[in-house]
Structure 1
Amino acid sequence: MALLLGFLLLLLLELCGNTLSLGSRSSTKGTEVLELELPATNYETKDSYKAGPIGGLFQIVHIFLRVVQPNDFPEDILRKILQKKFDLSTDYEKVIFIDTFIIYYEIGVIICAVLGLLFVILMPLVGFCFGLCRCCNKCGGEMHQRQKKNGPFLRKCFAVSLLVISIFISIGIIYGFVANHHLRAQIEKTRKLADSNFRDLRTLLNGAPAEISYILSQYTTTKEKAFSDLDNVKSLLGGGIHEQLRPKVIPALDDIKAMAEAIKETKEALLNVNNTLKELKKSSAQLNTSLSDVKRDLEQSLNDPMCSAPPVATTCNNIRTSLSQLDDNTNMDQLPSLDKPIDKINDILQTNLSSLVQQGYKSFNDIPEMVKNQTTDIISDVKSTLNSIGTDIESIGEQIPIQDQLSNFMGYINDTETYIHRNLPTLEEYDSYRWLGGLVVCCLLTLVVIFYYLGLLCGTCGYDRNATPTRRGCVSNTGGIFLMVGAGVSFLICWILMTIVVLTFVVGANVEKLLCEPYQNRKLFQVLDTPYLLNENWKHYLSGMVFNKPDINLTFEQVYSDCKENKGIYATLKLENSYNISEHLNIQEHAGNISNDFQNMKVNIDNIVLLDEAGRKNLMDFSFSGIDAINYNIYLAELSKAPTKANLLSFADDLEVKANHLPHGSLKQSLKNNAQTIRTIHRSEVIPLEQSMSSVYQSIKELQQKSSGLGMKVTNTLSSLDSAQDFLTTRISSVIVEESQKYGNTIVGYFERYLQWVKISITDKIAACKPVATALDSAVDVFLCSYIIDPMNLFWFGIGKATVFLLPALIFAVKLAKYYRRMDSEDVYEDMENGNIGFHRHHSTQTV
């Protein structure tokens, strides 16, 4: 065990020295997502050990030990002993003090051990005396039983007491059997536990160089990501600049484009309105002609002689009076022509404003391509810098001697494993002897308790209350003999069993209280971490061993805790005090080289013209075209009128009604024909004219709205254009600088993140020492305490309890045997002549 503990401590220290070439960590700002993850290492050995159902029995023993030994771990005394700060020849007071303290600390164990030794000494002596006494027919050796009134009650009490005590003894024996078997089973698992820990340690040692190689190889992934961004400088940097300028430039170009479309739409609207007006004038003239013809026909019809007659004259006069309603209600000829505004628009359209706007779009959208063309040399320089960084990182990987050092330490593991495997069969052989001895002990106790059970069984079943002591049955007598045999065997073996119990108790209790418990609550580490304890010249022993700098606060407890949390050896042992990896992986130095390349980046974008002077003049000409000065109200007022003064349908219907009241004749027929003519005029001329007038009215309304504030619109458009052009002129350099910094920071960020990940991996993840803590736990907590001490303590606890109960058991067995065995003589009661009752001893003729 000492060899195994020494090996584990040597492993920890060797790993300290062999990883001095790793380094520490630094900080960096976050960049775009670049997934870097060290592959997880899986270990075989479990982190914790569970005893299973038998753990409850172990807890009972622990509770008993805490009652026997309730004192705290003697840290101060242990420190003084380890520091050897007293001399046996001179420091008598300190020696006496320490001895007194040890006695006080061990008082519970000492008392139990003394009681056990008294038991060992007295039981053979008492048994010898008891045997001699019985041979002299004393101490119950006389085969005569006096009859008592409470005899049946005593017999039952003795039987019940012996049965209860035998049950307690049986429980102790079961504890012994279970503990003996459990210890053997756990020893058989030792080889598997050791092999598992050695494989984990090899995984740790072999994995560290592979992890370093993996980490360094991830530089290629980082470089490929950076190269991809460098190759996409057009979309990343140029696109970034383009996007920064877009909110200011694109709206101005969109306004100009919209104005160019408005010019075309205005021309189309003017042409449409002008042509429609011409058609309306022709239709209006045609309507006027048709109405004049109908009106003339009606006047001629009203000159008929019938209109002179009194009844008809009134109707004719009414018709003659209403003829004025057939006049045209519009005067289209007064509306001015739109030819002049159209001519001006045609002149404006001689310049292709849309083409000029597209040139502005193209000039602006060419920014990414311009950036790509102007950064070719810079991108090449950055790539060269990145390649040189890769060379530096590869050289750092070659300088780390961890693989060679760990390969040397692999020999220690192989030698230790060979030693363990060579001696493990011997341990298993000795354990088989121990197991056999424990089995014999348990079987001896089992034999005793079997005698007691058989005695109780035979005695109880064969007992006849009507039989006299000299006439008891064979079964009852056999039960008594079994009880006496059990008592005799108890005297023979109890002192041997108690000797075994005392020895295992003293060893197991002290190991549990002085090693297992302080190891679990880490007070043992606190003692080892006492300044100047293991070396009077070193404040901290571990840092003195690792760095030869004993002032560094490196403690066993901290190292063990960090290893339990699976931290890397670098962070666990604070190796930055010996080798600072930041000096070899200087983020600022490498990142600064890349940043300098990007600071030298010069992107010149100063020849972008959104709209030339011809386009500006075109917009100004449009604003002075006079479209907004057209008197649209004249058109709207004229077009909103009805084509005729009266509704021709109503006029025709009224005319036909009046004609129907006239007598038959040419006048009546002429009026009806004219009414039909008027309906035809309304259907063929008035309705189309109304529709055309409504359509033109809407067109002019829209044209009025479009041309409203035309000058202001053009002014605003030009103002927006000037603002965008000024923004390009004055701010584009700052935008370029800003986007270049972002782009450079993105590239640099990849390597900052990579180097940061390298440092974190080396300091916190590479050579994560959890297998070392697990191996130490396996050696102390699992193998020593759980595999050996816990079963051993349970063994002496069970056997000790059974042995202690042998004392009252043999007393009750001897007393109870009198009630079961066949006696040589018995008391006979007789009536005397004087009326008194007397008795005499009657001897049996049967052989006992």
Structure 2
Amino acid sequence: MKVCEIMSGWRWQGSAGAFKAGVGVLMLGISLAQSVPPQNVCPAAAAPHSLTQPQYQDTADNDTSTGFMAALVQSFLHTVQPTSIPESLVLKIIHQSMFSQDLIKEVLVYKVGFLVCVAIGVLYIVLMPIVGFFLACCRCCGNCGGKMYQKQTSSIHCRRRTLYWSAFVTTIIILAGNICMFKSNDALTVSVEHSPMELKKTINNIHTFLTAVPQQVDHVVNESYTTIQRVTGNLNNIGPLLGAQVLKVFRGTLDPALNSFRLLDQETVNTSVILNKLNSSLAQLQSSMDGLEANVTTVRNRINQTLSKPGCTGCDNLMSELQKLTLNTSITIPHLQEFQVAVDEVNNTNLQSKITEVENYFNSIPQRVTNDTKDVVQSSKKVLGDIKTQISQAISDIPLSSLTNLSGTLDQVQREIDMVAPKVESGEHIRWAVCVALCCVVLLVVVCNLMGLVLGPMGLSPKADPTKRSCTADCGGTFLMMGAGFSFLFSWLLMLVVLVLFLLGGNVYTLICQPWKNGQLLKFIDTPGLIPGLEIGQYLGLKTNINISDIYRDCKYNQPLWTTLHLYELINLDNLLNVSKYTVQIRQNFENTNITLSTVKLLSPQVENQLSNFSSEAKNISSTSITQQMNYISGINLNNTADKLDEFAFNQTNNAIKKDLKDEAMDLRKIQSNIETTIIPQLENLNLTIESLRAIAEKINGTVGEVLSKVGVAQDFLNTNATQILKTESRKFLDCQLGYFIAYADYANLTITQQVGRCGPVAGAVDTVEMILCSHIVESLNAFWFSLGWCMIFFIPSIIFSVKLAKYYRKMKTSDVYDNLIIMNHIPRAQMKST
């Protein structure tokens, strides 16, 4: 049976240029297709994988801790400088080469808080040594408490206690400030020591970010290359893919017909075997029956001769028994020969060869698809190669080299940091030693005061004469005077340090750190014309300008570069990856493709007639006649006739006739025994074979009917649907490829706009620098000068209380006697009023 070509003349019609353009754009949107198994035209593509974001090191921007005195110092600085950075004033200072009087006045007005503090500091620096000098001169001259005489009054003890506790509280306050000085000094040292490492981590994070951006772009591009290779593999395997799917659809209808074919072929073979066995059994039984008939006929003739002898008494009575010895040994089955002919005709048709022929043809469909689509595959592969070249060219136009240049700049910065770090560390050791010395000076005053406050009361006897006070009390008073002296000696120098550090740290905080933290500094940097060449939008060729503060805000939320740098103004990604506008033309070209299928003839009319004849002959097979014949044979019983011969021989007087009759009776019994041992088993075997034939004959009718029905359905299906099936499955193959394109378009759009170049490390770097400079270094520095200034302020009451309290403990040179006597007041006498 010859089956026609299934796929011939698959040609793309329409505009070749439109087709290439459509495929070109679509290839920019190929999805992450997995390896295609040969049994499926369009396997389910894996979900698009998000880009693997680089791992960054933890830096100081994650440290939310602030200095232990930050709130107090910042509150003081906010009081000193309550207004924020004046942008207009800074712009005037930058743009004017000469400072006018109005500009100077405006600067002084803005810095009035700092000027007041500076004035207070200058007064302190000037007056403290002057006051100390004059106080020392006066005391040397015996004035200002310099005379070693103490007047004894009733309130002397109360005054001493008041001065003692006042001096004690003042000293504790100074000690607290001194502790804060030590702690802030150590905090500043730790901040400076850790700053190079934190800066290195920050630079490494920026370097990782700059390295990751080209890698992420390459990842998106490589996915398009990978998918182009996948689609190329699909085109190379179009036969196993599309042809196998078409065959799968065909087999949904053909397999039931072929299975019924196989079943009919097997039943036909089984029928032939049973028929051969039946013919063999009939021939063997007929041979046995012929021998039986010959033997019975011989014995009957002998009995007839014996009965015809003259000396036979009553022989006429046995003539009726001789009639029973006539056997009908002909065994026949009606319509068996016609059924045998029908079976032979079906066997001669060779159904198995036809099944094999059909299967071989349909199994060759994939190769036929491959052969018929060779030109289309070659042209499509050429388009894929062109698309790959276009993608490479498009990527080469992206200025990723600027990121490499920036990475080189970062490397240079890192080298500069490594060079400067040892010098900074050496300078930090010197600064730390100087600050420790300053802390020790303050601590010296505190120790002197505490020694005086401890030794004075310890050696003091309240009722003792001031000239006879103990050495312990006198040492206490001396320590108090030493504390006052050291305060006068060093306070102006310490205040000078406070003033310098206040101007440095306070202005850095108010002008840089505070605006930096609240975002005003970045907004100020965004001021047009402030920094030439900072027009990022103009540099990128955007329609709108991009502010540094906007970039920082977006990077703070870890936004991608697509939205942060407004790249959507440069590239219309939606239009570039919009493949839907091309699919209409491609589908229209596909619909216009001329795909035809010739008819497939599964059964010829001659074979159908043979199968119908086979089924009708199987219905004509009847076992009734042969059963009756077998029942007749199995009902033969020669023993009855033998018994009558023995009975008749017993009544004979002629011994010869008597002996002949007994011999003939014995022969009949031997024949009957032969029937039971030979013919009866043959009858049983024949009966089983007939039953098998009857059972299979009953099934043949249904099997043939099923074959004719299913083959008819399959034939109608192929005649009416084969061409449409090929079109449908081919359309599915195309839809699969378009689905890959659309999936990648969505993936690329999502990846580029939401995942490529998330600039969180950039904001993190800004936050880290702000944290290092402001939250660590500047806050520690401000805490140090604030603590030192705190101590200097309380040096003044400490000097006053120490000097006054020292006289209550030191040994006086002259004494004053105070008698605790009762003073009697004069009571006036009453007088009579004159009339």
Tell me the TM-score range normalised by the shorter chain.
Answer: 0.5 to 0.7
Q: Which residue of 2 aligns with 1:253?
A: 258
Aligned pair partner of 2:564 in 567, 572, 583 = 572
**d(CA) in 1 for partners of 2:604 and 2:372?**
25
Aligned CA distance change for structure 1 residues 145 and 262 (closer, same or farther; 3 Å):
farther
Amino acid at match of 2:539: V
Q: Which residue of 2 aligns with 1:240?
A: 245
**C-alpha displacement at 1:572, in angstroms?**
2.8
**Contact 1:356/1:615 (8 A) holds in 2:** no
Matched, 1:182 2:187: yes
Q: Which residue of 1 aligns with 2:176?
A: 171
**d(CA) in 1 for partners of 2:531 and 2:415?**
36
Partner deviation per Cα, 1:369-398 (whole Å, 9 max, x = no partner): 111122222222222222222333333344
Write the mapping of 1:259-338 to structure 2, written as runs, cut at 5 A.
259-268=264-273
Aligned CA distance change for structure 1 residues 249 and 140 (closer, same or farther; 3 Å):
farther
Aligned pair partner of 2:387 in 386, 389, 393 = 389
Q: Which residue of 2 aligns with 1:800?
A: 789
Aligned CA distance change for structure 1 residues 597 and 511 (closer, same or farther; 3 Å):
farther
Matched, 1:738 2:731: yes
Partner deviation per Cα, 1:170-216 (whole Å, 9 max, x = no partner): 33223222322332443344555555555666666677667767766
Matched, 1:620 2:621: no
**C-alpha displacement at 1:520, in angstroms?**
3.1
Partner deviation per Cα, 1:575-613 (whole Å, 9 max, x = no partner): 443466889999799999999999998776546554455
Secondary structure at the aligned position of 2:370 is classed as helix
Aligned pair partner of 1:497 in 494, 497, 519 = 494
**Contact 1:26/1:756 (8 A) holds in 2:** no
**Contact 1:378/1:598 (8 A) holds in 2:** no
* Stretch of structure 1 that moved more, 559-568 or 799-808: 559-568
Amino acid at match of 1:522: G
**C-alpha displacement at 1:37, in angstroms?**
8.1
Partner deviation per Cα, 1:290-326 (whole Å, 9 max, x = no partner): xxxxxxxxxxxxxxxxxxxxxxxxxxxxxxxxxxxxx
Q: Which residue of 1 aligns with 2:766?
A: 776
**Contact 1:463/1:473 (8 A) holds in 2:** yes
**C-alpha displacement at 1:236, in angstroms?**
2.0
Aligned CA distance change for structure 1 residues 120 and 366 (closer, same or farther; 3 Å):
same
**Contact 2:522/2:549 (8 A) holds in 1:** yes
**d(CA) in 2 for partners of 1:774 and 1:484?**
55
Aligned CA distance change for structure 1 residues 554 and 483 (closer, same or farther; 3 Å):
same
Aligned CA distance change for structure 1 residues 131 and 73 (closer, same or farther; 3 Å):
closer
TM-score normalised according to structure 2 size? 0.67
Aligned CA distance change for structure 1 residues 713 and 479 (closer, same or farther; 3 Å):
same
Aligned CA distance change for structure 1 residues 731 and 815 (closer, same or farther; 3 Å):
same
**C-alpha displacement at 1:808, in angstroms?**
3.8
**d(CA) in 2 for partners of 1:136 and 1:635?**
167
Amino acid at match of 2:33: E
**d(CA) in 2 for partners of 1:632 and 1:118?**
143
* Stretch of structure 1 that moved more, 509-518 or 273-282: 273-282
**Contact 1:281/1:333 (8 A) holds in 2:** yes
**Contact 2:265/2:352 (8 A) holds in 1:** yes
Aligned pair partner of 1:65 in 58, 71, 74 = 74
**d(CA) in 2 for partners of 1:703 and 1:124?**
136
Write the mapping of 1:536-547 to structure 2, written as runs, cut at 5 A.
542-543=535-536, 545-547=538-540
Write the mapping of 1:687-836 to structure 2, written as runs, cut at 5 A.
699=692, 702-703=695-696, 706-707=699-700, 709=702, 712-726=705-719, 728-742=721-735, 744-745=737-738, 749=741, 772-779=762-769, 781-828=770-817
Write the mapping of 1:453-464 to structure 2, written as runs, cut at 5 A.
453-463=450-460
**C-alpha displacement at 1:345, in angstroms?**
2.4
**C-alpha displacement at 1:571, in angstroms?**
4.6
**Contact 1:375/1:602 (8 A) holds in 2:** no
**Contact 2:242/2:730 (8 A) holds in 1:** no
Q: Which residue of 1 aligns with 2:354?
A: 356
**d(CA) in 1 for partners of 2:560 and 2:254?**
55
**d(CA) in 2 for partners of 1:158 and 1:48?**
49
Q: Which residue of 1 aligns with 2:440?
A: 443
* Stretch of structure 1 that moved more, 139-148 or 424-433: 424-433
**d(CA) in 2 for partners of 1:587 and 1:384?**
20
Aligned CA distance change for structure 1 residues 137 and 233 (closer, same or farther; 3 Å):
same
Amino acid at match of 1:354: Q
Structure 2: segments with no counterpart, 5+ residues = 1-24, 36-45, 292-329, 636-672, 826-835
TM-score normalised according to structure 1 size? 0.66
Aligned CA distance change for structure 1 residues 799 and 792 (closer, same or farther; 3 Å):
same
**Contact 2:203/2:414 (8 A) holds in 1:** yes
**d(CA) in 1 for partners of 2:795 and 2:457?**
21
**d(CA) in 1 for partners of 2:481 and 2:214?**
74
**Contact 2:206/2:762 (8 A) holds in 1:** yes
**C-alpha displacement at 1:481, in angstroms?**
1.0
C-alpha root-mean-square deviation of aligned residues, in Å? 5.8
**C-alpha displacement at 1:795, in angstroms?**
0.9
**C-alpha displacement at 1:486, in angstroms?**
0.8
Aligned CA distance change for structure 1 residues 348 and 481 (closer, same or farther; 3 Å):
same
**Contact 1:165/1:809 (8 A) holds in 2:** yes
**Contact 1:569/1:767 (8 A) holds in 2:** yes
Partner deviation per Cα, 1:31-79 (whole Å, 9 max, x = no partner): 5248998997868764444669xx45x154235524763899967x745
Partner deviation per Cα, 1:506-551 (whole Å, 9 max, x = no partner): 543453354324423434334555xxx424999x9745542566x6
Amino acid at match of 2:718: Q
**C-alpha displacement at 1:617, in angstroms?**
4.1
